[in-house]
Amino acid sequence: MALVAGVDSSTSGCKVQCHDADSGEVVASGFAPHPPTTPPRSEQDPAAWWTAFMAAADEADLFGANRPAAISIAGQQHGLVALDDAGEVLRPAKLWNDTESAPDAVALTEALSGGAAAWAAASGSALVAATTITKLRWLRRCERPTFDRLGAVLLPHDWLTSQLTGRATTDRGDASGTGWWSPTEERYRTDLLALVDADRDWPTLLPDVLAPTETAGTWGPNGAVVGPGTGDNMAAALSLGLRPGDLAISLGTSGTAFGVSEEAVVDPGGVVSGFADASGRHLPLVCTMNATKVTNAVARLLGVDPAELDRLALAADPGADGLVLVPHLDGERTPNRPGATGSLTGIRSNITREQLARAAVEGVVCNLLEGAEHLAPWLDRGGSDRVLMTGGGARSAAFRQVLADLSGRPVVVPDERELVARGAAIGAAAALSGVNPAVVAERWPLTTSVTTPGSGDHRAIREAYRSRADERGEPCI
């Protein structure tokens, strides 16, 4: 039995799963945490990622009985890993949720003729603080001596893959979130990097972009094949086996809404990120920065654990008796308000714990569904009306029911919790067999459960949220 390993190197930690290459059955797994981090400055030392990977791999016995024939890494998107000419890390990596580069997003947008629409056409996405190129400009602006020592620029999954193979590579999915690779043209746009610094020889600093069926190299004494890897959202989409028309909602620390498209995605309005995926297709995606961190904060405030918060939220009436929580606690990406804070309105003297819990869940779901509406031009071309829910929030009965109610569609939840690691393992199996990852995904069965919408008209909840969010006062950037 050939084994393959998938790695999910996320903001919070590293998960390693070992699967049977043919059936997809999970054989073993391991986990190790990453150092906690909080915006506006959100950074991690890449060495901590490697330490966590080695610990998680050891727990999964990858160095013993479960030595894989292939391995692939999925990582948190957008992070900037700056290396010198010798390949040494120059400083802690700035992560996707670091908002210190918000002024750089504005400056770069203004530097390109046509602004946000031109950036979307050139790189697939309008610029926000999360986009890697804004962090590169921040580095030049705020730490010029470090910027001048740059010998290579990698993403988190690129760096981890390079530790396995000794080679600097990336994939089209993760590269499409940098702001300097075009999903439409399938190539680097060094003219965009010239807006950061016109004097650098950018092609020498960038990794090779691998196709979905290419390999990055080998790892370990048994020569395990190393797949190209990808970003975490691309791995999750691959694991779900998305069909055209499907809407996927992921609720973790952040929230994402995404689907698949056969055509390259360009949103002139800049809300939808037009990523490439890990199988050769495209991945229109909307991201919010505030998801389960909001309900975790409310649980902490109420002095309860997540399970009790779930019970409280389900005990309240839909709409929380007019209580509305706008969940922009640590700035927000969609809408693009990096300096925003949250708000709670509609408070009365008879407020209850149940209402506050319900308002937190509804606020997170409403915020993400507002963003998801922008995906309609691409998802409406498919024939599916499925909503697939993933992430830690999918374990919450309250989140599942509220999403079904407010979307008006059945919510399908995979039993498999580690979809990103599973997607990475699918990529490893594809690299081992030489077939497209989407074909492997079809061969690996995924069991699910379904939550159906409750009775009643829930449109008023969406309308109340939209009204309060629009009253916030901070303009979108």
Beta strands in 114-168 (DSSP E): 152-154
**Residue 327: helix, strand or coil by DSSP?**
coil
Residues 305 and 267: beta-carbon distance below 8 Å: no
CA-based torsion, 365, 366, 369, 370: positive or negative? negative
- Cβ-contact 328, 473 below 8 angstroms: no
Tokens read off for 409: 């569609």
Q: What is the DSSP letter of 39?
A: S
Instruction: In whole angstroms, give the CA distance from residue 68 to residue 220.
Output: 10
Residue 226 carries which side chain, given as an amino acid letter? V
**Spacing of C-alpha 240 from chain mean position:** 14
Distance CA 88, CA 152 (A): 9
Secondary structure letter of residue 219 according to DSSP: E
The DSSP result for 423-447, as a single string, is HHHHHHHHHHHTS-HHHHHHHS---
Q: Which of 232, 267, 330, 405 is catalytic?
A: 232
85 is catalytic: no
For the annotated catalytic residues, the residue numbers are: 232
